[in-house]
Amino acid sequence: MEFNETMKINLEHDKEREVREIVAAVYDALKIKGYDPISQMVGYLLSGDPTYITSYNGARGMIVRVERDELLEELVKTYIKTL
């Protein structure tokens, strides 16, 4: 890489990766604690109540850093890609 080239920063890609990492970490924490991760995450997404998410391994703190609409958007995008 030369310093005379213009670099393009893709913040959207970084945000998507961050959301994916958070969802994966929260899923793992819920599973480890014996919860049904899908049910708990759906409960959180529908209600906005963070107590659906365990605080184990900082999962609750991570998930509240991301807006619920951003979480839903990423989940739908990922699902559509699998069709």
pLDDT in tens, 30-60: 999 999 999 999 999 999 999 999 999 999 9
**Over residues 50-78, mean pLDDT:** 94
**Residue burial 5-29, b: 16+ Cβ < 10 Å; e: rest:** eeeeeeeeeeebeebeebbeebbeb
- Residue 30's H or E segment, with its range, is helix 11-32
Determine if the pTM surpasses 0.85: no
